[in-house]
Amino acid sequence: MQSVQQTYVFNQSNGDVTSTVNGNWLQAYCLYLGVTEPVNSSWLQALCIHFGITAPLYGSWTIALANYYGITQPLNGTWWYALSQAPAAAPSVPFIWNEDTNLWEDEDRVWNVGDPVAPTANFTSTTVTIIEGDSVQFTDTSLGAPTSWAWTFTGAVQESYTTQNPLVTYNTVGSFAVALEVTNTEGSNLKEVLNYMLVNVLPIVADFSGTSLTPIEGDDVIFTDLSTGTPTQWSWSFAGGNPLTSALQNPTVEYTTAGTYTVALTASKTGSTDTETKVDYINVFEPASVEPITEFASGLFYQNVSNPLSRVDFSNTLIAQKIETTV
């Protein structure tokens, strides 16, 4: 049994189009006419624009197409059934939509579009899968020219909107419903899609820094968490440190023994964890030791230290005499 769209396409192509393209009769007809791309993902809208129809009628491209053929009322309750009965040749004079009169017009005729109808809710979005913290643009695609919109976005930062095309942000991980209720003077209609939005966790990337990477024995080092992805838990490991472990975000650690030590941080939250290990990150030194004076001559004071100053200039005679007397 032929569908009404199949009958319409068969008649309008004079029997040339006998099969669908990707299961779509309108796509097959568009390709037959030389229209190779849909408009806003719609082959019906592409067909209408090809015929010079630049706007939907009461929110419907189907009604606009019907009126293009001079059809002012549906048949058997549907506009597509009426279109399946349309003449085989499309009008040669394109109609112009008059927003003041809500009529399709050409030079000779005015086409009445019939009585207003209650809206039918529908919507699209730029994506249905995001990362927490991202935003999604929603677009109202309802039929029937609604005049008010009531959106509900479960799990979003702001869950209710009355604008036609809201931009919605999600900070919570999960799967959430979206609902739109549209209204005009003829009535209202609600569309709700459960589990419409999937919000995935923002992955954690662990990282950290220390206030000093070359402390002296007995010094403290303050570690700062630099992880991204908003972790909520931290697990530190400090070889050679006191304490050896910590669950604080930004701990302070004392190093009492000279040596080279590794530091590791595991940052985590529900759904994501990451570990950063920095090998030989902390180099602890012994305090500098000063040996007795080994030589004093010509106003120069020589000394031997662990991190030696090769010499200190004591050109001041009084200071030199004082040191010589002491020695």
For position 291, what pLDDT does the model report? Answer: 58
Whole-prediction pTM value?
Answer: 0.48
**Sign of the torsion angle spanned by Cα atoms 226, 229, 235, 240:** negative
What Cα–Cα distance (Å) separates residue 204 from each residue in 36, 201, 248? 44, 9, 17
The CATH number corresponding to 123-200 among 3.40.50.300, 2.70.98.20, 2.60.40.10, 2.40.10.120 equals: 2.60.40.10
For position 162, what pLDDT does the model report? Answer: 96
For the chain, residues with pLDDT lower than 50 are: 1, 90-94, 107-114, 296-327
For position 320, what pLDDT does the model report? Answer: 45
User: Please, what is the end-to-end C-alpha distance for the chain in angstroms?
Assistant: 119
> Under 8 Å CB-to-CB from 45, ≥6 apart: which residues?
38, 39, 56, 61
For position 165, what pLDDT does the model report? Answer: 95
Q: How far apart are CA 261 and CA 241, in angstroms?
A: 8
Decide whether 123-200 matches 208-284 in CATH topology: yes
Tens digit of each residue's pLDDT (9 = 90 or more) over 287-307 = 986 555 555 444 444 444 444
Tokens found for residue 110: 């005015």
For position 131, what pLDDT does the model report? Answer: 94
- CATH architecture of the domain 208-284 equals Sandwich (2.60)
Provide the residue ranges of all domains of the chain, joining segments of one domain with +: 4-111, 123-200, 208-284, 295-326
Residue in the block written with tokens 């913290």: 133
